[in-house]
């Protein structure tokens, strides 16, 4: 399986696509996420932050994700200097993060997180556009590049976990700074690509729709809204899955392996995503992701004591995140022309991962005190709403 994949990757590299340079950027970008998601709250706790203060600092990441991608997406579309914005954003993220080493209060930490994440959260949406511009008509190859982000996440989680066990969680800021610098350095190796609008001959004689006109089309706003509900449904998973496992007697090592298994399943799906898109189409895969999410969240608290069931449910991460994200990137690429592609990608990031993720975490925080079951059941309901909405609004649209 992996030999065939390496051959496909080599073929992609030989066809004027900077496969490895694009992949390395994703690797380091998501390695930062691998350092941040499992360990940042633990670091803040080690610095004597209260639970409420930790919650506000973590919320700062979601707040900047709602705002930053749209600002930088608008500037990138207007100036056409997308790669320059990515490089400056990566550099400024690392520079702002230096404030972590000198802050001396909760408010100062909050300000530092807002500052560095304002640039860090803006970078990915624009790099997605650069990647798709390089792929031109071979957008189905996106998943084979993006999977290296998942590899970066796993490597970071495993290596940093071992590092902190051997030494101290106090090393986290230095590790994150080095990874942020690696993002900037990898961005310097990527070259500009010919914009998609130049290469898309089918649109040469077609009128250019404005950004608001595109978003107002039923299949487009339904897609964004369904994706929003899908991310809301991940609130219990990203916030309380580890807590649930710990309450039911799972060791820290077992918890880490279950998280890694989900990402590994995502990687395997990314490898086969082009073939799956050709065989089933983006629409069916999107619906499968929403239904799989509803089943996954409903069954998780009910069957949490069965390790075998948990392993199977974690494998569904390939659908609930991997397939949904790959399809979403493909659709954003189709829906928006080059003149507003950055804004479209930024809107997807802000509305789904920003607003959807933040709302899911906040609501699950209230529901968790009532019952873990109702917390996860709420998330299952959110995914089901997303499916019903997308089935109503997208079943007759020409999307595949």
Please report the DSSP string for 208-222 in residue order: PPPHHHHHTSHHHHH
- Classified as helix, coil or strand, 193 is coil
Point out the least confidently predicted range of 3-12, 26-35, 256-265, 266-275.
3-12
> Which is higher by pLDDT, 196 or 239?
239
Same domain, 249 and 183: no
Q: What is the CATH number for 248?
A: 1.20.1250.20
Q: Report the 10 Å Cβ neighbour count for 226.
A: 27
Give every CB contact of residue 314 below 8 A, 6+ residues apart in sequence. 258, 261, 262, 265
Return d(Cα 350, Cα 39) in angstroms, integer.
Answer: 23
Final residue of a structural domain among 160, 194, 228: 194
Contact status, residue 269 vs residue 150, Cβ threshold 8 Å: no
Q: Could you tell me how many helices (H) and strands (E) the chain has, helices first?
A: 18, 0
Question: Residue 50: is it exposed, middle or buried by C-beta count within 10 angstroms (0-12/13-18/19+)?
Answer: exposed
- Six-digit token pair at 230? 């899908």
The whole domain housing 325 covers: 211-400
Point out the least confidently predicted range of 91-105, 239-253, 297-311.
239-253
Q: Given pLDDT bands bounded at 50, 70 and 90, which one contains residue 82?
A: confident
- At 229, give phi and psi (nearest 5°): -65, -35
Same domain, 30 and 134: yes
Contact status, residue 76 vs residue 339, Cβ threshold 8 Å: no
Q: Is residue 326 part of a domain?
A: yes
Same domain, 188 and 216: no
> Which is higher by pLDDT, 15 or 213?
213
Final residue of a structural domain among 159, 194, 229: 194
Return d(Cα 161, Cα 223) in angstroms, integer.
Answer: 37
292-330 confidence digits (pLDDT tens): 999 999 999 999 999 999 999 999 999 998 899 888 888
Q: Is residue 63 part of a domain?
A: yes
Q: Given pLDDT bands bounded at 50, 70 and 90, which one contains residue 162?
A: confident
Q: In whole angstroms, how far apart are CA 12 and each of 21, 112, 116, 276?
A: 12, 40, 34, 18
Same domain, 333 and 366: yes
Same domain, 126 and 273: no
Rank 19-23, 94-98, 272-276, 393-397 by mean pLDDT and report only the highest. 94-98
- Determine the straight-line distance between the first and last CA of the chain, rounded to whole angstroms: 27
Q: Given pLDDT bands bounded at 50, 70 and 90, which one contains residue 20?
A: confident
On the question of pLDDT at 15 being above 60, the answer is no
Same domain, 222 and 341: yes
Return d(Cα 374, Cα 363) in angstroms, integer.
Answer: 11
Contact status, residue 69 vs residue 125, Cβ threshold 8 Å: yes
Estimate the crossing angle of helix 19-46 against helix 51-79, to 10 degrees: 150
Same domain, 181 and 256: no
Amino acid 3: pLDDT: 52
Same domain, 287 and 237: yes
Q: Is residue 90 part of a domain?
A: yes
On the question of pLDDT at 400 being above 80, the answer is no
In the block, tokens 């390695």 appear at: 31
Q: Rounded to 10 degrees, what is the CA torsion of 46, 51, 57, 60?
A: 150
Q: Is residue 29 part of a domain?
A: yes
Same domain, 230 and 176: no
- Classified as helix, coil or strand, 378 is helix
Q: What percent of the chain has pLDDT over 90?
A: 28
Q: What percent of the chain has pLDDT over 70?
A: 86
Q: Is residue 206 part of a domain?
A: no
Amino acid 61: pLDDT: 78
Q: Is residue 6 part of a domain?
A: no
For the chain, the 3-state helix, strand and coil shares in percent, each to the nearest 5, are 85, 0, 15
Contact status, residue 54 vs residue 334, Cβ threshold 8 Å: no
- The reply to whether the predicted model has a pTM over 0.95 is no
Same domain, 157 and 268: no
Residues written for the chain: 400
Q: Is residue 13 part of a domain?
A: no
Return d(Cα 195, Cα 206) in angstroms, integer.
Answer: 17
Contact status, residue 227 vs residue 351, Cβ threshold 8 Å: yes
Contact status, residue 215 vs residue 202, Cβ threshold 8 Å: no
Same domain, 41 and 141: yes
Q: Is residue 10 part of a domain?
A: no
Amino acid 288: pLDDT: 95
Phi-psi region of 84 (alpha: psi -120 to 50; beta: other; left: phi over 0): alpha
* Mean pLDDT of the region 168-196: 86
Number of domains the chain is built from: 2
Contact status, residue 263 vs residue 154, Cβ threshold 8 Å: yes
Give every CB contact of residue 115 below 8 A, 6+ residues apart in sequence. 96, 99
Amino acid 226: pLDDT: 94
Return d(Cα 185, Cα 37) in angstroms, integer.
Answer: 23
Same domain, 311 and 391: yes
Give every CB contact of residue 89 below 8 A, 6+ residues apart in sequence. 72, 119, 120, 122, 123, 126
Please give the radius of gyration of the chain, using alpha carbons only, rounded to the nearest integer.
20
On the question of pLDDT at 208 being above 70, the answer is no
């Amino acid at each position: 399986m992996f030999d065939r994949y390496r051959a496909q990757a080599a073929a992609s590299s030989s066809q004027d696509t900077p496969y490895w340079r694009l992949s390395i950027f994703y690797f380091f970008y998501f390695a930062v996420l691998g350092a941040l998601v499992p360990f940042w709250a633990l670091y803040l706790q080690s610095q004597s932050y209260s639970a409420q203060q930790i919650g506000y600092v973590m919320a700062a990441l979601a707040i900047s994700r709602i705002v930053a991608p749209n600002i930088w997406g608008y500037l990138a579309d207007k100036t056409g200097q997308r790669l320059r914005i990515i490089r400056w954003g990566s550099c400024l993220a690392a520079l702002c993060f230096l404030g972590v080493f000198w802050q001396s209060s909760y408010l100062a930490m909050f300000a530092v997180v807002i500052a560095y994440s304002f640039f860090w959260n803006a970078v990915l949406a624009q790099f997605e556009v650069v990647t798709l511009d390089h792929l031109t008509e071979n957008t189905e190859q996106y998943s084979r590049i993006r999977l290296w982000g998942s590899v970066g996440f796993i490597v970071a989680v495993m290596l940093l976990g071992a590092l902190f066990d051997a030494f101290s969680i106090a090393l986290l800021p230095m590790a994150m700074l080095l990874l942020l610098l690696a993002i900037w350095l990898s961005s310097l190796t990527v070259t500009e690509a010919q914009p998609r609008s130049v290469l898309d001959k089918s649109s040469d004689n077609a009128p250019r729709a404005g950004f608001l006109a595109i978003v107002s089309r039923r299949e487009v706003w339904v897609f964004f809204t369904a994706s929003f509900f899908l991310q809301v449904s991940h609130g219990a998973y990203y916030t309380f899955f580890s807590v649930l496992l710990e309450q039911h007697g799972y060791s820290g090592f077992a918890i880490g392996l279950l998280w890694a298994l989900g990402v590994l399943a995502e990687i395997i799906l990314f490898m086969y995503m082009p073939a799956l898109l050709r065989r089933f189409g983006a629409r069916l895969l999107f619906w499968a992701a929403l239904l799989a999410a509803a089943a996954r969240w409903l069954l998780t608290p009910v069957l949490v004591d069965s390790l075998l069931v948990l392993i199977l449910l974690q494998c569904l991460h390939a659908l609930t995140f991997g397939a949904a994200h790959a399809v979403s990137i493909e659709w954003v690429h189709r829906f928006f022309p080059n003149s507003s592609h950055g804004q479209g990608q930024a809107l997807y990031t802000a509305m789904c991962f920003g607003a959807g993720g933040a709302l899911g975490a906040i609501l699950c925080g209230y529901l968790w005190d009532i019952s873990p079951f109702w917390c996860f059941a709420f998330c299952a309901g959110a995914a089901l709403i997303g499916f019903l909405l997308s089935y109503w609004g997208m079943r007759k649209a020409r999307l595949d």
